[in-house]
Amino acid sequence: MRSRPLIHVLTLVTLLMAVTASADAIRQTKAPHYDAFRQLDVDLPTPNVYRTASGAPGTQYWQQRADHQIKVTLHEESQSITASQTIQYTNNSPDTLRYIWIQLDQNRFAEGSRGRVTAASSEDVLSYGALAAEQRHADVAHGFSIDRVADNRGRDLKHTIVDTMMRIDLPQALRSGQRTTFSIDWSFNIIEESIIGGRGGYDHFPENDTYIYFLAQWFPKLTAYTDYGGWKHQQFLGAGEFTQEFGNYVVEITVPSDHIVSATGELQNESAVLTAEQRRRLNTARSADKPMFIVTPEEAIENEREGATQTKTWVFKADNVRDFAWSSSRKFIWDAMNHKQEGGEFDNVLAMSFYPQEAEPIWSQYSTHSVVHTLEVYSRFSFPYPYPTAQSVNTWKGGGMEYPMITFNGRRPTPFEADEDDPDAASKPERTYTRSDKHGLIGVIIHEIGHIYFPMTVNSDERQWTWMDEGINSFLQYIAELEWEENFHNHRENYSILEHIAEYMVSENQVPIMTQSDSILQFGPNGYTKPAASLVVLRETVLGRELFDFAFREYAQRWRFKRPTPSDFFRTLEDASGIDLDWFWRGWYYSTDHVDVAVTGMREYKVSTADPDIELNLQKQKRAGEVPETLGQIRNREEGRVMRADRFPELNDYYNKNDEYTATNADRNKYQTTLEGLEDWERAALDRAAVDDDFVYFVDFHNIGGLVSPLPLLITDVDGNEEFLMIPAEIWRRNSVAVSKMLIRDKAIASIQLDPRRETADANFSNNSFPSRVVKSRLELYKGEDDTRNMMSDMLQMLREEKGGADDSKAVPLEETGN
């Protein structure tokens, strides 16, 4: 999922983390040493026959299976749906089950649900949105009405509803390898998504009183039963998403006859629901290399004016999916094109988009292309797209949500008159859209279609670990965006995902990535951006593209249509890359350390020949080079002043002829003794060094942020030649706080810059150079842009005058009752 554009407000900087290894059995109890490289073995679950120590599914890996047949009818007049469904449940676990848990996700919206009751409120402020939601809940009962639960012979089954879950007691225990079939009849009132807030519902267009229906978490489905957690009964509170079982679905959807339906899977009865012309166009689209209309914008506008009293039933079939969603409206424009691929279950994938005219013009231009672009990029990193269709549906104004083969995506351009002088408004005759409309739409579609790989196919447990789907997916989204066009994120030159995450990572009260979904404090940076940034660092800097891409693809392929846990990911990336990454997982995933390494010093040396006749002379030259002659002495000479010692030659002795840099016999004897004490190879090394005449440097690094990091260095010599040197993170293995690195160079080094390409997520670049350099803050950079700043200050002034200083707070006026 991708939430509505939120405003990240971070006021930043750096902290020296007091590092504690709190729950470790092994603790350093005397000096404050922290072993950043201690292996994670003791912290990860013990490998077993289901999950191996190398991160692969074990020899006896199992998962349950749930096949669904659903008949559902949409009632437009009452904004509700009714359905009857049959579930066939296969127990592949080694365990015997006496009861089955069903998820009733719609109950999150029911009166008294745990999610609603436990929602905390801020201040004593009631927003108009919150008031409208409360009023709607009072007017309309939400949540499932479960009318009947019966076995396959029609006998009622005892069932108990516990908030968003339902337990069905089985008359006979279900043994390993057995299957059971049961049916549920149910109905519910569809929420108006913009009022209540959720991942599905309906969207109302008051301008012309039309609707888009988009149904998600809409049917009772099997709770996952897993080898690592048994029944996954973490109630649905809203944030933590889903833990699902795979199965085959046949869904018959009955809607008004003028609706177009988009759904998980493939349409089975084209001839019953599409016109001959629509079928002809659809067939053309199946081999088209660019989007073709099946329903044109003009036809959609015509459709939405009418209304139908008849119904049609659309039949969809989807194999091996972990969920099913659908959308229906008479407003839909529909386009499609073919995505060709090799080596997978499907050589041809039908990429489609469904959207109302309010979403134009960006949807017909960008949506289906974005779908195909995602399939191209993600398949390269994982496996060929495993389904026959991939769909993008415009169901709301902002945000996005993913399901197998179908995604619900936001972005409708706000129409406004094009300002001719504004280069940011892409001009169109009738409508304009902004740069962020375009990039926001492409970005959200990449993200949601990308989720069909992670977690719809690589079936991680979202309720438990947000980062396993959102983080991994945001990482691939970033890659796909960079491959859409250069400077994709070009609100500012050279935007990098690593820059802003550092501002989050320095904060004191963040939680580690390895935190359960519903307890995460800052969902966006924690579950999405930080893990995505970590994988960028891992790919581009720690492992390199070749090793990373092989290991990542191995993870995706091992766990395709299976259920990985975090340790399976950590272990596979080590196992397949051949690099110990425990320090990386420990720092990025199990701690709240951040990256801030400082270059604190650099000292220059030459290898000494130890020969006093050479060395003392060198010292003399060096001293002369470093310290100028005393000014008074120079001026005396210039004045032609004659020294006393010159006037009285008898005052001159040994010391007048030899200075402190003259070698004595004692010095020479000591040198001979030293040489005689050397082994032959040591003598050879010393002689070689005398010939090479290299410079020797010791560069000091201080790890301020705590997270150990590779050290990419840009070394510039006195002639301006640049050399790039990558020191792996293992340099910190004996001391994770301060290390020194020796460098031998034939030319003197003029400067050293740490992380010049900004690839480590370093939080503070003002301490990355020796000699130190001034790095401008964002505020200073902004203030330096005179034009921008002047225009902004004029605009602020103008708006202030318009408002007359009034606070246009959108809170409902409240008055104390005195009670």
Applying CB under 8 A, the residues found at the interface with other proteins are: 5-16, 119-125, 127, 129-130, 206-207, 414-417, 419, 422, 424, 434-437, 489, 491-492, 495, 497, 500, 503-504, 506-510, 521-522, 704, 778-779, 782-783, 788-789, 791-793, 795-796, 799-800, 803, 807, 809-811
Q: How far is the CB of 524 from other proteins (least distance, A)?
A: 8
Pick the closer one to other proteins by CB: 129 or 728.
129
Distances (CA, A) of 733 to 39, 236, 538, 671: 12, 43, 18, 38
User: Of the two residues 474 and 565, which places its CB atom closer to other proteins in the complex?
Assistant: 474
Q: Which does 662 bind (CB under 5 to 8 A by kind): Zn ion, other proteins, none?
A: none
Helix (H) or strand (E) holding 625: helix 612-626
7 contact, one of other proteins, Zn ion, none, CB 5-8 Å limit per kind: other proteins
Closer residue to other proteins, CB minimum distance, 134 or 604: 134
The Cα 70–Cα 263 span in angstroms is 13
Which of the residues 470 through 499 are near Zn ion (CB under 5 A)? 470
- Tokens 């949105």, residue located: 129
Site string for Zn ion, 411-450 (x = CB under 5 A): ----------------------------------------
Question: Nearest to residue 728, comparing CAs of 533, 591, 583?
Answer: 583
* Partner touching 788 among Zn ion, other proteins, none, CB below 5 to 8 Å by kind: other proteins
- Choice between 125 and 624, CB closer to other proteins: 125
How far is it, in rounded angstroms, from Cα 192 to Cα 202? 5
- What are the tokens at 194? 């913009």
Nearer to other proteins, 238 or 566 (CB): 238
Of other proteins, Zn ion, none, which one does residue 728 interact with (CB within 5 to 8 Å by kind)? none
Distance of CA 187 to the CA centre of its chain: 37
Complex with Zn ion: residue 274 or 375, whichever CB lies closer: 375
Nearer to other proteins among residue 67 and residue 518 (C-beta): 518
57-62 LR contacts (CB < 8 Å, sep 24+): 57/558, 57/559, 57/562, 60/94, 61/227, 61/562, 62/92, 62/93, 62/94, 62/227
Between 419 and 682, name the residue whose CB sits nearer to other proteins.
419
- Kindly indicate which of the ranges 81-89, 438-446, 466-474, 607-615 contains the residues binding Zn ion, using the contact rule CB under 5 A: 466-474
Please report how close the Cβ of residue 450 comes to Zn ion at its closest, in angstroms: 8
Q: How far is the CB of 448 from Zn ion (least distance, A)?
A: 7
Toward other proteins, which CB reaches closer, 98 or 492?
A: 492
29 binding partner (options Zn ion, other proteins, none; Cβ < 5 to 8 Å by kind): none
123 vs 626 by CB, closer to other proteins:
123
Which of Zn ion, other proteins, none has residue 758 at its interface (CB below 5 to 8 Å by kind)? none
Residue 497 contacts residue 533 (beta carbons within 8 Å): yes
Query: Which residues lie across from 249 on neighbouring strands?
Result: 68, 318
- Please report how close the Cβ of residue 3 comes to Zn ion at its closest, in angstroms: 9
Position 102 contacts Zn ion (CB under 5 A)? no
Least distance to Zn ion from the beta carbon of 469, Å? Answer: 7
Query: What pairs with residue 262 in β-bridges?
Result: 327
Q: Which is nearer to other proteins, 134 or 277 (CB)?
A: 134
Nearest-approach distance from CB 133 to other proteins, in angstroms: 10
Minimum distance, C-beta of residue 129 to other proteins, in the bound complex (Å): 7
Helix 362-381, helix 435-450: angle, nearest 10: 40
The interface partner of residue 1, options being Zn ion, other proteins, none and the CB cut-off 5 to 8 Å by kind, is Zn ion
Q: Least separation, in Å, of the C-beta of 440 and Zn ion?
A: 14
Q: What are phi and psi of 72, to 5 degrees?
A: -130, 145
| CB of 421 vs other proteins, minimal distance in Å | 11
Question: Strand locations in 746-815, DSSP E?
Answer: 749-754, 769-770
Judge residue 270's burial from the number of C-beta atoms within 10 Å of its C-beta, 0-12 exposed, 13-18 middle, 19 or more buried: middle
Nearer to Zn ion, 51 or 451 (CB): 451
Q: What are phi and psi of 609, to 5 degrees?
A: -75, -15
Other Cβ atoms within 10 Å of 46 Cβ, number: 9
Q: Which is nearer to other proteins, 125 or 718 (CB)?
A: 125
Using only C-alpha atoms, the chain has a radius of gyration, in whole angstroms, of: 35
CB of 470 to Zn ion, least distance (A): 5
Taking alpha carbons only, the member of 21, 25, 32 closest to residue 586 is 21
Positive or negative, the Cα torsion across 584, 586, 592, 595?
A: negative
The span of 122-130, 290-298, 464-472, 503-511 binding Zn ion (CB under 5 A) equals 464-472
Which partner, Zn ion, other proteins, none, binds residue 422 by CB below 5 to 8 Å per kind?
A: other proteins
Cβ proximity to other proteins: between 167 and 438 the closer is 438
To other proteins, the closest distance from the beta carbon of 806 in angstroms equals 10
Residue 473 Cβ vs Zn ion, minimum distance, rounded to whole Å: 6
> Beta-carbon neighbour count of residue 74 at 10 Å?
24
Rounded Cα distance, 413 and 397, in Å: 9
User: What residue 311 binds from Zn ion, other proteins, none (CB within 5 to 8 A, per partner kind)?
Assistant: none
| Among other proteins, Zn ion, none, partner that 604 touches (CB below 5 to 8 angstroms by kind) | none
In the complex, least distance from residue 764 CB atom to other proteins, rounded to whole angstroms: 8
Q: Which does 800 bind (CB under 5 to 8 A by kind): Zn ion, other proteins, none?
A: other proteins
Q: Is 468 in the site for Zn ion (CB under 5 A)?
A: no
C-alpha torsion sign, points 448, 451, 457, 463? negative
Starting at the edge strand found earlier in the chain, the sheet holding 210-215 runs: 201-205, 210-215, 326-329, 260-263
User: Which residues 727-766 are close enough to bind Zn ion by CB under 5 A?
Assistant: none
> Quick one: which of 58, 61, 57, 54 has its CA closest to 571?
54
Cα separation, 226 vs 62, whole angstroms: 8
Residue 491 binding partner per list other proteins, Zn ion, none, with a CB distance cut-off of 5 to 8 Å that depends on partner kind: other proteins
User: Packing angle between helix 566-577 and helix 545-558, nearest 10 degrees?
Assistant: 130
* Residues 65 and 78: beta-carbon distance below 8 Å: no
Q: How many CB atoms lie within 10 A of CB 790?
A: 10
Q: Could you say whether residue 1 binds Zn ion (CB under 5 A)?
A: yes
> Where do contacts with Zn ion occur on this chain (CB under 5 A)?
1, 470
